[in-house]
Structure 1
C-alpha cells in the first residue's frame, strides 16, 4: 500500500473511532509502528489529524457535524453570505447549487428572482424550491447520503455529464491557501469537482470557521474559484493570501438584526 493510500485508510479509521493508538493502526494496516508514526507526522503537517501521545485524534476540521445541528451554527454569518451571493444571480440564469447549510440559505434568498433554472444535488434545496413555480428545478439523481441529504455516486456523475451552468455556488468544508478547497465526503467532493468544471463562473460561499483548515478530499485549487464570498469575521491574513492568488474576495457585512433561525 502506498503512503497516500495508507493515510486515507488512517483517516477513515479516525473518522469512525475518533482516536486510534499507534499499535492499533499498525496491526490494522499490517505495517510497522515506525511507518505509522511517520504517516501521522506527515498527516499532522497537512492539518488532517492531531498527533497525541501514543496515537492520533481527528483534526476538528475533519469531524463533520450533523446537518441539522449545522443549520444553527454561525447562522447570522451564513445568512449574510447567502444574501450577498444572491446579488450575483440574474433573472433567467441557469445555476448549480451544491449541498450544505449555507447553500440552503442561499437558495432561500433567490425567491425574488424570476425564470431561473436551478440544478442541485441537495434534497433540502430541491424541497425548498419545488413549490416556487417560476423556477425550473433539476435534481441530478444518485445515492442519498443520509447525514447531508445529498446525492452522489455513479448515477449523479452520469446526470451531470451534459449539464452546464452560468454560475455554480459551492459550500466548502475547509479552505487554505496551501491545500485549496477541500471537503469531507469523497462522493460529494467528486460531484463538486465535476460541476466546477461545468460552471462558467465558480462561486464559493463559506463562513469564517472554514478557513485555515484542511479536510480529506481536494475539491478545487485556489485559482479554480472565481469568487469567494465570506463574512467579516474571517481572518484577514487568510483572505490576503487567497487574494494574492487572484481570487476575487467578497466580504459580506453581518446583518445583526437577523438572529432568528428559519
Structure 2
C-alpha cells in the first residue's frame, strides 16, 4: 500500500484522539470531505482504521494492527528513536531485540555497525542486520507468526534466558497511566521480560503515542527498564510518571513537527 503524507497524518491524529469525524479531518487539512473520505476508505480497506458513525476510529484496544500497518504508524517518530539508540550501541556489542516495529527501526539504523552478536525473535530485525557478514545472528526455533514474521512461546524465552547480552532493546504495545506495561499477548510480554532480565542494559523504545494506549496483557513496569527512549520530550503527565518510575529518559534533540 502506498500511503500519502496526509494519510500518515490522519493515522497519527486518530491514534491521538481515538476517533475523528470526516468534517474534523477536512477542516484540519483544509480539503473537501470527499477528499478525506477517499483517504479514509483507503485506510479502512488496509485495516489501519475502523469506520464509526460519521467518521473513523482507531482499531479495537484488544486487537493489534497488522505489522505492515504498524510500520506506517508514526514512522518518523520510530526513525528518530532508531537513530538515537543506534548511537548508544557500539560495534562488537551483543544485543537482544524484541518483536515490534520500533526495535526493527533500531536495527535498521545499525546496519553500519560491525561484529554484532544479535539474539532476536524478530525476523525483520534479523533480516535488516543480515547483509553484514561480520554479524552473528541467533533466532529461536518454532513456528513463525505470519504476517508479523516473529516467534513467541517457550522456545523463545528459553533462548533469551540462555544468553547474557550487553543491551536489550524492547518495545511495548502501551504504557498505562500507573506505569504498567501492556501488550496484546501474554507470550509477547513474557518474551519481552526475558530480554530485560537477560541483558546488562535494558532499553525500552516507545513513541509517545504508546502512553495510555490500552492492550489486554499486563506485565512489567516502566521503571523496570534502565533507559527509556522516546521520540521527543514528554508531556507534563508523562514526565511526572517517568520521574516517579525512576527510569532514565532520553530523546532526540529537536521535537517532531
The verdict on a shared fold, with TM-score over 0.5 as the criterion, is yes
Secondary structure of the equivalent of 1:115?
coil
Q: Distance in 2 between matches of 1:77 and 1:173?
A: 15
Residue deviations 1:214-237, cap 9 Å, x none?
A: 322223222211111112264332
- Report the Cα offset of residue 254 of structure 1: 5.8
Q: Distance in 1 between matches of 2:233 and 2:214?
A: 19
Preserved contact between residue 196 and residue 202 of structure 2 (Cα < 8 Å):
yes
**1:66-215 counterparts in 2 under 5 A?**
66-215=66-215
- Residue 220 of structure 2 corresponds to 220
Preserved contact between residue 177 and residue 211 of structure 2 (Cα < 8 Å):
no
Preserved contact between residue 232 and residue 255 of structure 2 (Cα < 8 Å):
no
Residue deviations 1:118-167, cap 9 Å, x none?
A: 11101111112222112111112333222422111122223223111111
Superposition RMSD on alpha carbons, in Å?
A: 2.2
Relative to the length of structure 1, the TM-score reads: 0.70
**1:43-82 counterparts in 2 under 5 A?**
60-82=60-82
Relative to the length of structure 2, the TM-score reads: 0.71
Structure 1, unpaired ranges of 5+ = 1-57, 258-262
Q: Distance in 1 between matches of 2:228 and 2:155?
A: 29
- Residue 250 of structure 1 corresponds to 250
- Report the Cα offset of residue 62 of structure 1: 3.2
Paired residue total: 200
Q: Distance in 1 between matches of 2:81 and 2:155?
A: 31
- Report the Cα offset of residue 112 of structure 1: 2.1
- Report the Cα offset of residue 255 of structure 1: 8.0
Secondary structure of the equivalent of 1:86?
helix
Secondary structure of the equivalent of 1:87?
helix
Secondary structure of the equivalent of 1:132?
coil
- Report the Cα offset of residue 76 of structure 1: 0.7
Quickly say closer, same or farther: Cα 1:137–1:255, change in 2 above 3 A.
Answer: farther
Q: Distance in 1 between matches of 2:119 and 2:171?
A: 15
Q: Distance in 2 between matches of 1:230 and 1:196?
A: 18
Residue deviations 1:49-100, cap 9 Å, x none?
A: xxxxxxxxx9844331011111111111110011011111012110101111
- Residue 21 of structure 2 corresponds to none
Preserved contact between residue 182 and residue 217 of structure 1 (Cα < 8 Å):
yes
Preserved contact between residue 176 and residue 211 of structure 2 (Cα < 8 Å):
yes
Preserved contact between residue 165 and residue 198 of structure 2 (Cα < 8 Å):
yes
- Report the Cα offset of residue 177 of structure 1: 4.5
Residue deviations 1:168-202, cap 9 Å, x none?
A: 00011001351422111222211111121111111
- Residue 20 of structure 1 corresponds to none
Secondary structure of the equivalent of 1:96?
strand
Quickly say closer, same or farther: Cα 1:59–1:255, change in 2 above 3 A.
Answer: closer
Quickly say closer, same or farther: Cα 1:200–1:130, change in 2 above 3 A.
Answer: same
Secondary structure of the equivalent of 1:168?
strand
